[in-house]
Structure 1
Amino acid sequence: MFGLTFDKLLIVAVIAAFVIGPERLPAYAAKLGQLVRSLRDFANGAKDRMRDEMGPEFDEVDWKKLDPRQYDPRRIIREALLEDGPEATGAIKPVTQSAYAQRKMPLTAGAIPPYDTEST
């Protein structure tokens, strides 16, 4: 989380203990605990409210399908513009993998990497 290791957090806690002082440290620790509890209650409340408003469909939603990394804007635009065009006749092959998944695939030996003419 943000590049913080246990050692760094321990150093920050020791510095905070010296700066705050032993008299005020319990009060600030209690305030931090209240903040963490209120944030957890807020998140749980939002989740419960979403479940109440969506009803039984909330548990049926495939949240991985809604991952924004799977979307390829060029494919979405191409499909929207060519709904009645050559795609209907089968001239254009639809994309079966997202751009994110394609980027993770390694190239074979001697293969030319993909070049996007639209981005230059």
Structure 2
Amino acid sequence: MFGLTFEKLLIIGVIAVFLLGPERLPHYAAKLGQLVRSLRDLANGAKDRMREEMGPDFDDVDWKKLDPRQYDPRRIIREALIDEDPFAQPERPTVARAAVNENSAYLQRKRKREALGAGEPAPFDAEAT
């Protein structure tokens, strides 16, 4: 529990006796007992509420699987990228062709180039440069 050993807890207790004094120590010990009891009741209440809301499926849940300490991002990504059936043939993607716009600027320039004769120079626009 948080790396606390018996010796450390004993030292904390001795320091508490000196700081609080023998008159106030029983009062604070009772308060600590009430706090621990209320936290235990809170945890049990949450557990009972989960059991009530989940119904009979509560006992079937593998809680160790949901433990955040089991989180390994490399394993999760590897499982997500691997196909379920390694022998399945991949489907060939289908490519949808877009409709050709006959009035596009590219096709208009191409038609003009084709309309030029073999010896004709390309049109020149002096204002464009």
TM-score under structure 1 normalisation?
0.60
Residue of structure 2 in register with 1:89 after alignment = 88
**C-alpha distance in 2, partners of 1:71/1:13?**
37
Unpaired stretches in structure 1, ≥5 consecutive residues = 91-120
Report whether the alignment pairs 1:23 with 2:37: no
Question: Cα–Cα, structure 1 residues 50 and 17, in superposed 2: closer, same or farther, change >3 Å?
Answer: same
Which has more radius of gyration?
Answer: 2
TM-score of the superposed pair, with normalisation by structure 2: 0.57
Q: Output the CA distance in 1 between the equivalents of 2:45 and 2:19.
A: 35
Aligned Cα root-mean-square deviation (Å): 2.6
Q: For 1:1-120, list aligned pairs within 5 A.
A: 1-70=1-70, 72-81=72-81, 83=83, 87=86, 89=88
Distance 2:87 2:4 in 1: 53
Query: After superposition, what is the alpha-carbon deviation per residue over 1:59-82, rounded to whole angstroms, capped at 9, x for unaligned?
Result: 111223334455543343344345
Same amino acid, percent of matched pairs: 79
The 3 A distance-change label for structure 1 pair 36 and 83 is same
Greater length-normalized contact order (CA 8 Å, ≥ 6 residues apart)? 1
Q: Which amino acid aligns with 1:22?
A: P
| CA distance in structure 2 between the partners assigned to 1:2 and 1:68 by the alignment | 18
User: In the aligned structure 1, how far is the partner of 2:22 from the partner of 2:55?
Assistant: 50
> Closer, same or farther in 2 for the Cα pair 1:75/1:19, shift >3 Å?
closer
Aligned length: 89
Q: Deviations over 1:47-96 (max 9, x none)?
A: 00100110010011122333445554334334434549x84538xxxxxx
- Superposed CA deviations along residues 21-51 of structure 1, whole A, max 9, x for unmatched, are 1111111011000000000001000100100
